[in-house]
């Protein structure tokens, strides 16, 4: 399989739902921008370089949120896009706990970004008790939560006002999407976890989106570094990246991490708590068996694991774009190149089969951070 130079790459663009917005096959995940405890430090100079290079390579979509690094992600992205705002599709998200006053939080995001409109504004998580508890301890909000009807009525008003171009949702399951559709507000996109190791959307969520002309942007395209071949075994994965149901409950414990890795650079931002809350045994044998097999296929196809993983995602017809973090220019170029690669149906089927045990173990619950029987997504 021939690798491409940037000059050979024509980035595919896909329309988001019923809107007129076209997004590139790859969306830049901006969570690390601005730096923070989850991902570690991130220099603004590196952010500027990645954002400018992405635009030059045909990537036009950038995903951030008000909660990412306390708003620093939005600030950092805004700085990087100065002078090139018209070339970008900017996506941001409001926390469910803030939906009593959507306009206030939208304006705050725009101020941090230094922009006068958002291309896409999403509700970051569905509005339910478990989801709200991750965003607020305010008893008033918890006892009298916002409603979906009110949140999407406010979003529609923002769209009419011109502060946002398109309305979306993130991490919504089939039943929750139906509740949004029932409001009559046009929703163009659902952002959901999707990659080789996280395929829960396939049975119900993806078909519902197709039926209702809701585009899907897949988050966690590289499963927080696992599919980029950054880790050979579970012991190497830092707690923030090891708190999904792929891992045993104890993997999120910073104290145990520091004991196992006394000299690791991540210790400088180590927390004191266990990052994991699902309380399950995980599926580490299935996960790392899949990664071992994927590594072999990558060698056979002369691709990196990251490229192979991205190409596999974009082979799926229900995917509009895959959200991938790129912290430097080299990572960015490899990821962009992957968007132009076409893997064969045989390779796709081999990866499907390879990852099936992980799907079987984790099930069709797209909430990878809560217990399988205690989900925020339904």
Residue from 272, 256, 225 nearest 37 by CA:
272
| 93: enclosing H helix or E strand | strand 89-94
The pLDDT value given to residue 266: 84
pLDDT bracket for residue 9 (50, 70, 90): low
pLDDT digits (tens, 9 = 90+) for 204-224: 999 999 999 999 999 999 999
Let me know if residue 355 belongs to a domain.
Answer: no
- Domain boundaries, position 157: 11-229+306-343
Question: How many domains is the chain partitioned into structurally?
Answer: 1
Q: Are 340 and 352 in contact (CB under 8 A)?
A: no
Q: How confident is the model at residue 6 (pLDDT cuts 50, 70, 90)?
A: very low
| 140 falls within a domain | yes
Instruction: Please report whether residue 208 resides in a domain.
Output: yes
Name the pairing type of β-strands 164-170 and 189-193. Answer: parallel
Q: Answer whether residue 54 is part of any domain.
A: yes
What CATH number corresponds to the domain at position 38? Answer: 3.20.20.100
User: Does residue 27 form part of some domain?
Assistant: yes
126 in a domain, yes or no?
A: yes
CB 80 within 8 Å of CB 46: no
What was the pLDDT predicted at 200? 98
Residue 246 in any domain: the answer is: no
Q: What is the pLDDT of residues 124-177, one digit of tens each?
A: 999 999 999 999 999 999 999 999 999 999 999 999 999 999 999 999 999 999
**φ, ψ of residue 167 in degrees (nearest 5):** -110, 140
Q: What is the mean pLDDT of residues 112-125?
A: 98
Is residue 109 within 8 A of residue 68, CB to CB? The reply is no
Whether 66 is covered by a domain: the verdict is: yes
CA proximity to 323, closest of 167, 120, 72, 76: 120
Q: Which of 315-338 are b and which e, b meaning 16 or more Cβ less than 10 Å from the residue's Cβ? A: bbeebbbbbbbbbeeebbbbbbbb
Residue with tokens 């072999």: 296
Per-residue pLDDT, 34: 87
Summarize pLDDT for 41-84 with one digit per residue, the tens: 789 999 999 999 999 999 999 999 999 999 999 999 999 999 99
CB atoms within 10 A of CB 135: 16
Per the structure block, which two tokens stand in for 359? Answer: 């799907």
**Which of the four pLDDT bands, split at 50, 70 and 90, describes residue 1?**
very low
pTM for the model: 0.93
């Amino acid at each position: 399989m021939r690798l491409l130079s940037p000059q050979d790459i024509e980035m595919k663009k896909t329309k988001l739902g019923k809107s007129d917005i076209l997004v590139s096959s790859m969306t830049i995940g901006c969570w690390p921008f601005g730096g923070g405890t989850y991902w570690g430090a991130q220099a603004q100079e590196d952010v500027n370089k990645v954002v400018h290079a992405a635009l030059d390579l045909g990537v036009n979509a950038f995903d951030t949120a008000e909660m990412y690094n306390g708003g620093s992600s939005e600030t950092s992205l805004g700085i990087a896009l100065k002078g090139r705002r018209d070339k970008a599709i900017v996506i941001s998200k409001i926390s469910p706990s803030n939906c009593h006053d959507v306009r206030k939080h939208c304006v705050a995001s725009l101020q941090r970004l230094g922009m006068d409109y958002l291309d896409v504004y999403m509700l970051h998580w569905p509005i339910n008790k478990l989801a709200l508890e991750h965003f607020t301890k305010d008893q008033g909000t918890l006892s009298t939560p916002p409603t979906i009807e009110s949140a999407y009525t406010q979003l529609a008003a923002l769209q009419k006002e011109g502060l946002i171009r398109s309305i979306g949702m993130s991490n919504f399951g089939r039943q929750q999407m139906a509740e949004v559709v029932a409001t009559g507000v046009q929703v163009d996109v659902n952002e959901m976890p999707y990659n080789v190791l996280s395929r829960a959307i396939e049975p119900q969520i993806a078909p519902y989106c197709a039926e209702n002309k809701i585009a899907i942007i897949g988050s966690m395209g590289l499963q927080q570094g696992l599919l980029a071949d950054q880790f050979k075994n579970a012991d190497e994965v830092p707690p923030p990246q090891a708190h999904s149901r792929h891992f045993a409950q104890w993997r999120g414990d910073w104290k145990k991490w520091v004991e196992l890795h006394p000299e690791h650079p991540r210790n400088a931002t180590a927390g004191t708590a266990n990052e994991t809350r699902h309380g399950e045994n995980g599926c580490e044998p299935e996960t790392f068996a899949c990664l071992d097999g994927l590594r072999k296929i990558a060698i056979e196809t002369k691709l990196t694991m990251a490229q192979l993983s991205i190409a596999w995602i974009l082979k799926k017809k229900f995917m509009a774009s895959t959200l991938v973090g790129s912290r430097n220019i080299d990572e960015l170029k490899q990821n962009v190149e992957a968007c132009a690669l076409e893997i064969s149906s045989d390779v796709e089927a081999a990866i499907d089969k390879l990852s099936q045990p992980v799907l079987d173990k984790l099930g069709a619950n797209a909430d990878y951070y809560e217990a399988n029987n205690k989900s925020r997504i339904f």
